Structure 1
Amino acid sequence: MNSILATSIEFANLGIKLNNVGKSISIFGVDIAYYGMIIATGMILGIIVTCAEAKRTGQDPNDYIDFAIYAIIFSVIGARLYYVIFSWDYYKKNPGQILNIRGGGLAIYGGIIAAIITCFVYTRIKKMSMPRVMDTAVLGLILGQILGRWGNFFNREAFGGVASGKNPFAMKIYFDSHYSITQVPDSVREGMEKMFGKTLEQIGYIQVHPTFLYESCWNLVLLIILLIFRDKKKYNGEVFLWYIIGYGTGRFFIEGLRSDQLIMPVTGWPVSQVLSLILVIVGIAFAIYMRNKLKKDVDDTSEIEI
């Protein structure tokens, strides 16, 4: 195998080849995972954006710094708990790995659920409007998601099934010390060997959908839309509502491409697809309800004024 390519990740159709892509950097003899650095950077920038939005809308940024501290702690716990629960076949045999998050294994939906619960408790204690807080914090949340997905890039994870050579975004991951052939999902191995007519050992790499990139780009578009929409909202909570509809829609389709889906026991359904579908349906139903409610309120007010 070519020694240069052996440490590469390549987007051949885009003319991009990145050599020597490691998983960590050594600082004063201590290995620090890029995954953790990227997640931490996303959190910090997310807090900055959230505080800026709070100040812009006449709120106290300090309230959001306090909220962020609690939300981050419980979101990390929730994200890990969600991942472990739906990967229990592995963790029941390797309980010592349950607390090891340096190499990945954080599920965004678990983090979001934990953050919503934290928001509920926090706003009750502080006597703040939960819908308004969610509208304010969601912009930082999306930014964190946009950046956080790139941790998956360095970890060589959260990618999709085999991509054809015609796919402009097809990503080649070469086998090396950071990603071994034993880590390849069975579905990807079978797809690669069928497409190339060779064994995976002979091919020397996998060519897959970079679903982490798809989701990062989808979230970027969603962030831009919400930044434009935020001053046009009709009620508190509407920005967050359209976030769950928009994110749920994108995640539903992107999850269908992934080769490392977390599966619901018994049903065999990808849990993130099921949850995405529920969020979209509930979100649309609530949006319709609120639109009709606001229209009724306007009609009632008009009748009184007459």
Structure 2
Amino acid sequence: MRVTVIGAGAVGCYVGGLLGIAGHDVTLLGRPAHMHPIAARGLILDLPEGEKNSPVKAVTDAASLTPADLVLVCVKSADTENAGRELAPALGTDTVILSLQNGVDNAERLSIVTGRPVVPAVVYVGVDMAAPGRVGYHGGGRLLIGSSPQSDVIATALTQAGIPTTVSATVQQALWAKLTINCAYNALSAVAQIPYASMMSVNGAKEVIEQVVSECQTVAHACNVTLPANMLQQVLDVAVLMPDQKSSTAQDLFRGRPTEIDFLNGYVVQKGRELNIPTPTNLALQTMVKLSEKTRCVARG
């Protein structure tokens, strides 16, 4: 299978790297800082069973892409529309587009730009770019993807590559559940720059998370999405399952990059306003991250 990864950061390199090891023809499109080392010596994955090298291709210019069987879109939510336009060279007649992004509406936004169906996916893996062209693994690893005529074939290929993948007709509920987890952890981990287990040891953190989950549940219900009855416990379990993981928002802040906070806590705040539902805790966390972004921007300037 020919696979193109658009926005090959930690998640895209992890999934694309395992597909490459499994023998698929994988091309990563991403930042020069990571793509140049990968083009020179392959992509390195630090996995529980040890270091592995994936023989993927790596490019920095979308114009060099060729039609693929599967396109994995892994860009930040703010870049969704640009990515939709950029991936045009990778689209063949039967190309399947899979969105592996945070947030709940990226597949819809991509579909509008590309004029094609886009399969939404939920990613349950803790990874980071430990060094240029090197992926660090911290836990999880499975995917949930939406239904489509090609989803079963894609799920089989991903599963055989070591990425357990399930096809679900209720992926929207799962996207909201993942959004709730991100809203609970991302901002707190980012502002403190600490991993989940350390974050949870701070007095008051659990109470803040409980309030975030409650607000997300209320807004989701108003959007005709029912979150699991044990949503709070699922959220709390993340710190146990991935104790050493820092959120993607923490990684973005650390590297001085724009975060996705407006599409995480900010999305809940936006929908709450539209539906006249107060979301003060999500608003506070969104604002904290925006202030941190501004402070780091001033410091760099």
Give the TM-score of the pair, scaled to structure 2: 0.25
Structure possessing the higher radius of gyration over alpha carbons: 1
Greater fraction strand? 2
Greater fraction helix? 1
